[in-house]
Amino acid sequence: DFIIENVNGEKINLDSFKGKVIYMDFWYAACGPCHVLFETTKPVKKYFSSDDVVFLNISVDKKDIWKKALDKYNIIGYNAFTENQTSNHSIIKAYKVNGYPTTCLIDKNGNIFTANPSNIADEVKKQIEDALKIE
């Protein structure tokens, strides 16, 4: 589980998305590969625009940099950040984030479905579809 802050200043945790598949993406504003992944996953995010899948984008930037990056890059999904704790936040340690971008797919029961989802759009789509089938 984790507690992080969303764009509205609300604290969220894993239970905030109970019953949903969560595609978690850890990123930061100056990360070129992170920007590439945003573009790669855009069609996947549009395909899964239902309430069953959450694209949780977690920035390790400080709040002001994070907010500017959200405006600049128009990042689709549910956006949160590590509350000015950057990479020292407990979520970074809990999900073993060692580089950026790092992604993780959580099933509807809150379990890790895959700790390393594909970075190819069609493969990510298939992984999410498979995670949705978990009962």
pLDDT of residue 86: 84
Please state the rounded mean pLDDT for residues 55-81: 94
pLDDT in tens, 15-28: 899 999 999 999 99
Top pLDDT among 1 and 88 is at 88
| pLDDT tens readout for residues 81-123 | 999 898 889 999 999 999 999 999 999 999 999 998 998 999 9
* Strand runs labelled E in the chain: 3-6, 11-13, 21-27, 53-59, 78-81, 102-106, 112-114
Among residues of the chain, what percentage have pLDDT more than 90?
81
User: Is the predicted pLDDT of residue 50 greater than 80, yes or no?
Assistant: no
- Name the token pair of 20: 């949903």
Q: Give the tokens for residue 12.
A: 């969220």
Instruction: Supply the pLDDT for residue 48.
Output: 94
**Cα 36 versus chain centre, distance:** 14
Query: Which two three-digit tokens encode residue 51?
Result: 């309430």
- The whole-model pTM stands at 0.94
